[in-house]
């Protein structure tokens, strides 16, 4: 497979020199961006053994993405995704390239079907899949970059141990006051995921004290996350400095379509703004709720979680009203629902009625980082 670059309007079928067709037999598809369609890419915590396997078996294009990842990293990443073991897949240095590959394999199938989103976003690690989808990075560059990112984050976790705690059911202003009261170490808000769900990172003594304060609130819950570091906090400062050196060496391209970035919940397009957002992400909070609201304000009415799991789908559902359509794509039947639903949406521009598939989505688990 050649280094397919996933770039807007310049995508090629892996292993061939001809352009991809943007049409599917028997169905019309648009080559222009659909501002009502947003793709969102999951972050670490959404991985599971077996992810991507059935999609790769059903779609040769997806299988080629996994094969190319094995070649780029010089180890059998696809086997780790498909077969585990789970403890190896959960390692940050492995989970990050594995999730990126799975998300981009699904994206490759959607692109082949002619779907062109108008907005992109990714949760933490997932933002790097959005950079690829937006033409900022090619796949080989992104894959080696997130592998390095994972290694640096693992190193930071060894050198400056900490953890992450999901706080549910506490008013945001109250939580900020609690964080300010904690003096037993380092503490920082890491993810603002949706109404009623905020994730905090820090040293273990600080997290214990915050948990005590939070649980004084009626109906509050404090859930430790199964991670090995205090991600999106000052404890990642040295790793972020080293990662910035990697980013500064990269040749980046302007984003198209717009990417709503984690650190500001605003669209970024220029190379300078993208480089800054990449550099700041590791120590900055993920403003996910604000990012989803920004996408909705920009015209998004359909959100497709492009990658394994349905965590982000649940966060969107809890953030926006019932008028939006939320689809996941991590399994073959879900992926076909997306293709069918958005194919009908495209056809409706020719005068046919819009029909959407709305799968059942469970309440989101606070596990993305």
The CATH number for 162-228, chosen from 1.20.120.160, 3.30.70.250, 3.30.70.20, 3.40.220.10, is 3.30.70.250
CB 210 within 8 Å of CB 179: yes
The yes or no reply on domain 34-157+235-350 and CATH 3.40.366.10 is yes
Per-residue pLDDT of 333-346, as tens digits, reads 999 999 998 886 65
* pTM across the whole model: 0.86
- The single residue of 78, 232, 313, 329 carrying the catalytic annotation is 232
pLDDT at 322: 75
What residues have CB less than 8 Å from 183, skipping those under 6 apart?
none
> Which tokens is 134 given?
């937006």
pLDDT at 345: 64
Preceding peptide of 257 cis, ω within 30°: yes
**Domain layout of the chain by residue ranges:** 34-157+235-350, 162-228
pLDDT at 2: 45
Report the chain (369 residues): mean pLDDT per 10 consecutive residues: 42 32 34 87 96 97 98 98 97 97 98 94 98 97 98 96 95 92 94 96 96 90 90 96 97 95 95 96 97 96 97 96 91 95 64 35 44
Query: DSSP states of 86-131 as a string?
Result: HHHHHSHHHHHHHHHHHHHHHHHHHHHTT--EEEEEESTTHHHHHH
Per-residue pLDDT of 13-63, as tens digits, reads 333 332 222 233 333 344 578 989 999 999 999 999 999 999 999 999 999
pLDDT at 100: 98
Confirm whether 232 is a catalytic residue.
Answer: yes
- The CA radius of gyration of the chain, in Å to the nearest whole number, is 20
CA separation for the pair 100, 4 (Å, rounded): 15
Residues listed for the chain:
369
């Amino acid at each position: 497979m050649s280094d397919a670059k996933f770039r807007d309007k310049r995508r090629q079928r892996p292993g061939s020199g001809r352009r991809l067709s943007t049409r599917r037999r028997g169905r019309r598809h648009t080559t222009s961006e659909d501002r009502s369609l947003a793709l969102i890419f999951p972050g670490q915590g959404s991985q599971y053994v077996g992810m991507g396997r059935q999609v790769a078996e059903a779609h040769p294009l997806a299988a080629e993405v996994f094969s190319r990842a094995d070649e780029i990293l010089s180890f059998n990443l696809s086997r780790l995704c498909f077969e585990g073991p789970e403890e190896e897949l959960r390692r940050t240095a492995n989970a990050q390239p594995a999730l990126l590959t799975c998300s981009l394999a699904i994206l490759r199938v959607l692109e082949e079907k002619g779907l062109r989103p108008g907005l992109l976003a990714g949760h933490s690690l997932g933002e790097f899949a959005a950079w690829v989808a937006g033409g900022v990075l090619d796949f080989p560059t992104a894959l080696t970059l997130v592998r390095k990112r994972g290694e640096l984050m693992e190193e930071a976790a060894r050198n400056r141990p900490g953890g992450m705690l999901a706080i549910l059911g506490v008013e945001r202003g109250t939580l900020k006051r609690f964080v300010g009261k904690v003096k037993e170490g380092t503490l920082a808000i890491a993810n603002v995921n949706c109404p009623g769900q905020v994730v905090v990172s820090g040293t273990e003594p600080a997290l214990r004290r915050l948990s005590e304060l939070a649980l004084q609130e009626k109906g509050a819950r404090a859930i430790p996350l199964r991670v090995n570091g205090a991600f999106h906090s000052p404890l990642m400062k040295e790793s972020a400095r080293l990662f910035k050196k990697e980013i500064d060496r990269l040749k980046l391209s302007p984003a198209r379509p717009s990417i709503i970035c984690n650190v500001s919940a605003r669209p970024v397009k220029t190379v300078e703004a993208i480089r800054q957002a990449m550099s700041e992400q590791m120590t900055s909070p993920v403003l996910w709720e604000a990012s989803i609201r920004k996408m909705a304000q920009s015209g998004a009415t359909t959100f497709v979680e492009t990658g394994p799991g349905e965590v982000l789908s649940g966060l969107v559902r809890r953030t926006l009203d019932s008028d939006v359509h939320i689809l996941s794509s991590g399994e073959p039947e879900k992926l076909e629902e997306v293709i069918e639903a958005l194919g009908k949406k495209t056809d409706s521009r020719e005068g046919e009625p819009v029909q959407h598939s709305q799968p059942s989505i469970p309440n989101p688990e606070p596990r993305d980082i």
